[in-house]
Amino acid sequence: MTGKKLPEWNNLDANDERDSVVLHPETNFRPENKETPGIVTDGVGSQLFNEREPGRKKPERAPLLERADGDPPDDREPLETVDLRPRLSPAEKGSRFFFLLCAVLAMGQMLLIMVFLFGEAVGLFLEQAGSPRVALGSFLFGTDWYPTYPEPAFGSFALVAGSLAVTFVSTLLAGPLGLGLAVFLSCLAGRRTREWVKPAVELLASIPSVVLGLVGMMVVAPFLQETLNLPTGLNLLNSSLILAVMATPTIASLGEDALSAVPRDIQDASYALGATRWETVWRVTMPAALGGLSTAVILGLGRSLGETVVVLMVAGGAAQIPGSLFDSVRPLTSTLAAEMGETAIGSSHYQALFALGVVLFFMTLAFNLLAWHLSRRWRTGR
Amino acid sequence: MFLTGYGKAARKRRDRLATVVIASLAGFVLLVLASLMTYIFVQGVSAVSWEFLSEFPRHAMTEGGIFPAIVGTVYLAVGSMCISIPLGFGAAIYLAEYAKPGALVSAVRLGVANLAGVPSVVFGLFGLSLFVTTFGFGRSLLSGCLTLGLLTLPTVTAAAEEAIRQTPASFREAALALGASRWQAVRQVILPAALPGMLTGGILALGRAAGETAPISLTSATAYSPALPDSPFNEAMALTTHIYNLATNGSDIAATRPQQFGTSLVLVTLVLGLSLFALVIRARLRRSRRW
């Protein structure tokens, strides 16, 4: 007794999820044209050209060749295997491959940066001839940065403290100012004012930082020196002021986006309950935009942390843990830019600078992930 | 009391006070930014002349012009766009048109978002390690362009993806319904609609590349070159590093002050001009869009 045999090719339906079918000599007939297996005149073939979703799991389906219990195993040689996947033209395949390559490269860059920074830095912590091995603990927590001494010291703590200090003070200034400007643009200003002021603010965010550094040296430094009677105007306060000028437009622009995304109706509901404008802004609009607002501040903070040439020009450059606003500091970024030109490639100093780069990279990564997390957590609904 | 109480008068007072405070905060910020621009303009404008724009520096940079720095900055900015625009547009098309939600797309998107926040000096270190040392390009225009290209890649990608996503889904569906393949739909329908928006992002990135200092000084810049670069493997001067060098390292910093401010004005004009151009295109696009 033989099982009920179905001609396999004829039995394909539009939902067939397989990439190929096996043709058997007796039970199946071959399609006329092997080159275009999808085109058969039984009315279902053309459906096979539908694009499949590559990631989707194929559903379990019963075998097309139904066999009864007592049948001997089907051990005939298959005649041929026919590919059922949609045939893509070379242009189609090529373009898809190129775009995928670009996307992978855009992401892979992150890994490449890490690999190269680590690769250059790791030598500092390994045993090697001629130069001293530096313990990880003394690099991270040491406060002495004397890279060019006969007995060099590579302690990054004072530099990290310098970076954090300028970032913190500048955000303390830029946060309220930027958010104030954002609230003004989004909730107080008329449509006309907003249409002019917002692009102007965004334009100012693109002033090259070296120009702001120059202004810090020429204007802010003498001013601080004279009015506060300091030995030098190049210090923590000066660099924080300039960084605040840089970060404020960023915070204002992103903050305005977040506030504008708050649904109109919940604000109208607040007014309908008799709330004043300020009460609506403070109790309804700002809490609803909290995720976006905090993201704006953190991205502004990240900008201050990573800014190089401003702190190089106006922070003073002494590698010490700052005790007051008027101390000279040496953030990580300015150390990298100032010293990289003077070191021999492959020396301990060069490796130590790359290790500073790794520290900086992870500090900004932490801020970025925090911003990413906050913006997803409190995504402003529409 | 002024700040407490829930009577109608007290709440009105608080409202007025808050309005005044916020408006004055905003006014203060705008005032600072406006006076900054005025200062840069006033200080710089007396130094800028045709000779300043078209001549080489002379007498330890105290005289002459900044022509090689302008040329270097243009080379670097345009060269970096040759890297980041094809790659960024490609990645954006993949993310917006081809990718199905999954681990790869999340990874790409997270990578792009994080790269946008990586400090430029870290890109400079990366370029120094990869292009200057490992590939052996040395400190050269080529290394600088590649570094700046990678630096601006996330910005270009994000802006281009945004622009593609703003084309209506009906465009895509109509093309596919007419039997177009994915690539045909992208090339003939979606890209023509999205291209102005994508290029706006590119122009903004161009401005950013022109205004960067640290990555250039690590990978390609030289303080002074007697001739224009004639090959991608030459070092080049750039406006940003020129300002930095004059302001910090010169033998006579006070004597080069007009040069510093003149160069600043040229740089600011270049960068803000590019950004303004991009903003105008974007505004026109929004107004003329019919979908």
In the structure encoding, which two tokens stand for residue B130, read together? 């990869």
Taking alpha carbons only, the member of B220, B99, B232 closest to residue B157 is B99
How many angstroms separate the CA atoms of B86 and B198, rounded? 11
Q: Out of B86, B115, B267, whose CB is closest to A211? A: B267
Q: Is A245 on the interface with B (CB under 8 A)?
A: yes
How many angstroms separate the CA atoms of B157 and B155, rounded? 5
For every residue of B24-78, DSSP letters joined together read: HHHHHHHHHHHHHHHHHHHHHHTT--HHHHHS-EETTTTEE--HHHHHHHHHHHH
pLDDT category at A75 given cuts 50, 70, 90 is low
How many angstroms separate the CA atoms of B252 and B60, rounded? 9
Per-residue model confidence as pLDDT tens digits over B72-86: 899 999 999 999 999
Measured in degrees and rounded to the nearest 5, phi and psi for residue A51 equal -70, 135
pLDDT category at A198 given cuts 50, 70, 90 is confident
Per-residue model confidence as pLDDT tens digits over B109-151: 888 888 888 899 999 999 998 988 888 888 889 999 999 999 9
Cβ count near B55 (within 10 Å) = 15
pLDDT of residue A48: 42
A42 or B52, greater pLDDT: B52
Q: Is B180 on the interface with A (CB under 8 A)?
A: no
Per-residue model confidence as pLDDT tens digits over B1-20: 456 677 888 888 888 999 99
How many angstroms separate the CA atoms of B82 and B195, rounded? 16
CB B222 within 8 A of CB B88: no
Of the CA atoms within 13 Å of residue B195, those in its CB half-sphere come to 9
How many angstroms separate the CA atoms of A141 and A139, rounded? 6
pLDDT of residue A255: 92
A73 Cα distance to chain centroid: 57
pLDDT at A381 over 50: no
Per-residue model confidence as pLDDT tens digits over A303-333: 899 999 999 888 887 878 888 888 888 899 9
**Range in A112-121, A329-338, B276-285 with the lowest mean pLDDT:** B276-285
Q: Is A251 on the interface with B (CB under 8 A)?
A: no
CA separation, residue B76 to residues A208, A309, B140, B238 (Å): 15, 18, 10, 8
- Helix (H/G/I), strand (E/B), else coil: A320: coil
DSSP state of B227: S
Given an 8 Å threshold on Cβ–Cβ distance, is B183 in contact with A96?
Answer: yes
pLDDT at B229 over 70: yes
Stretch B202-225: mean pLDDT, rounded? 85
Q: How far is A59 from chain B (nearest CA, A)?
A: 19
User: Rounded mean pLDDT of chain B?
Assistant: 86
pLDDT category at A382 given cuts 50, 70, 90 is very low
B289 Cα distance to chain centroid: 25
How large a percentage of chain B has pLDDT more than 70? 96
pLDDT at A3 over 70: no
Query: What does CATH list as the number for A136-377?
Result: 1.10.3720.10
pLDDT of residue B93: 92
In one-letter notation, the amino acid at residue B171 is F
Where do the H-state alpha helices sit in A216-347?
A: 221-228, 236-260, 264-272, 277-280, 286-288, 290-306, 309-314, 332-340
Q: What's the complex ipTM?
A: 0.88
DSSP state of B118: S
**Range in A147-151, B48-52, B204-208 with the lowest mean pLDDT:** A147-151
**Range in A86-95, B16-25, B78-87, B176-185 with the lowest mean pLDDT:** A86-95
Q: Is B253 on the interface with A (CB under 8 A)?
A: no
How large a percentage of chain A has pLDDT more than 90? 22
Stretch A114-122: mean pLDDT, rounded? 88
Stretch A284-307: mean pLDDT, rounded? 90
Taking alpha carbons only, the member of B225, B288, B289 closest to residue B75 is B225
Taking alpha carbons only, the member of A172, A42, A192, A368 closest to residue B109 is A368
User: What residues does each domain of chain A span?
Assistant: 1-87, 136-377
Q: Out of B26, B37, B111, whose CB is closest to A106? A: B111
Q: Which of B11, B14, B16, B29 to mutate to test the interface with A (most CBs of A within 10 A)?
A: B29
**Range in A99-103, A274-278, B100-104 with the lowest mean pLDDT:** B100-104
Q: Which fold has domain B51-288?
A: MetI-like fold (1.10.3720)
Q: Which of B129, B156, B284 to mutate to test the interface with A (most CBs of A within 10 A)?
A: B129
Per-residue model confidence as pLDDT tens digits over A13-35: 555 566 666 655 544 444 444 44
Cβ count near B266 (within 10 Å) = 23
pLDDT of residue A184: 93
Q: Is B125 on the interface with A (CB under 8 A)?
A: yes
Residue with tokens 């004597």: B255
In the structure encoding, which two tokens stand for residue A75, read together? 């051990």
Q: How far is A283 from chain B (nearest CA, A)?
A: 12
User: Rounded mean pLDDT of chain A?
Assistant: 78
Per-residue model confidence as pLDDT tens digits over A157-193: 889 999 999 999 999 999 999 999 999 999 888 888 8
pLDDT of residue A34: 44
